Every structure is written in C-alpha cells, then in structure tokens.
C-alpha cells in the first residue's frame, strides 16, 4: 500500500501545523514548502498525489505557483487545492483559471478539512489494497 503524499505550500506556521496534523492523522505523508519556489522544486522532486496551495506567499503568489506547476511535467494533472483566506468575489475563478482543481477557505475547519479535500479529490487519503 502506498501512502498518499501531499505537498503543502504555505508560509503560515499555524496553518501548516494544523494541516499536517489533520492529514497525517488520516494516513497522508506530508511535505512542506514555505514559499512558491521551494514548492515548485519540491513538487518536481517528489511528484505528490495532491498539492495544497496558499495564495499569499513571500515570493510568487499562489496563482503564479499554480500556473508554473501546470507547466511542470509531473504536475500537469496533479490535484491542486487552493487554501486561502481570500474571500473576494472572483478569487475562486482566478484560482481555477490558474490551474487549481478546487478551493478551500480559511480558517481551516478541523472537523471537515479532510472531507473537503476528498470532495475535490475522490478517494484521496483512502487506503487502497
């Protein structure tokens, strides 16, 4: 059985901690990047099953990261879920236009976070024989 690997690209330590905790509790293997360039390199290196992407990052914004991920050989089809506190009208569309698969709003709700991911990525995190 292969554990599902998730790359989280997020610069906020509390959000990183919470997402890592919830994902590991559900059997995911988690790798972290704290800025866009690091995230692009990490994704290229390990080809994760899922990418969680913050929009407000220290270098590139999440939209630019999503666009560049889609240009990387291994990340053309990888589910990318944008996780952001941006709630402005149009941001969801902007994220999807940049190549994101889905969108989860902060603050993260620990009770439903993994279910939200599974809604965007069917079977993600479920053990398969």
Q: What is the binding site for Mn ion (CB under 5 A)? A: 11, 54, 56
Beta bridge partners of 80: 51
Q: How far is the CB of 60 from Mn ion (least distance, A)?
A: 12
Q: Which is nearer to Mn ion, 23 or 125 (CB)?
A: 23
Q: Which is nearer to Mn ion, 66 or 125 (CB)?
A: 66
A 10 A CB-CB count for 66 gives 26
Q: How far is the CB of 89 from Mn ion (least distance, A)?
A: 20
User: How big is the chain by its Cα radius of gyration, in Å?
Assistant: 13
CB 80 within 8 A of CB 67: no
Q: How far is the CB of 84 from Mn ion (least distance, A)?
A: 8
């Amino acid at each position: 059985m292969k554990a599902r690997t998730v790359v989280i690209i997020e610069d906020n330590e509390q959000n990183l901690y919470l997402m890592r905790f919830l994902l590991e509790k559900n059997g995911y293997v988690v790798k972290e990047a704290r800025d866009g360039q690091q995230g692009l390199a990490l994704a290229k290196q390990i080809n994760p099953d899922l990418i969680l992407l913050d929009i407000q990052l220290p270098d590139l914004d999440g939209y630019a990261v999503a666009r560049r991920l889609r240009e990387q050989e291994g990340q053309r089809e990888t589910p990318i879920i944008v996780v952001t506190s941006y709630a402005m009208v149009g941001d969801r569309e902007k994220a999807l236009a940049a190549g994101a698969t889905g969108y989860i709003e902060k603050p993260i709700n620990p009770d439903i976070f993994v279910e939200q991911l599974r809604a965007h990525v069917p079977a993600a995190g479920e053990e398969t024989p």
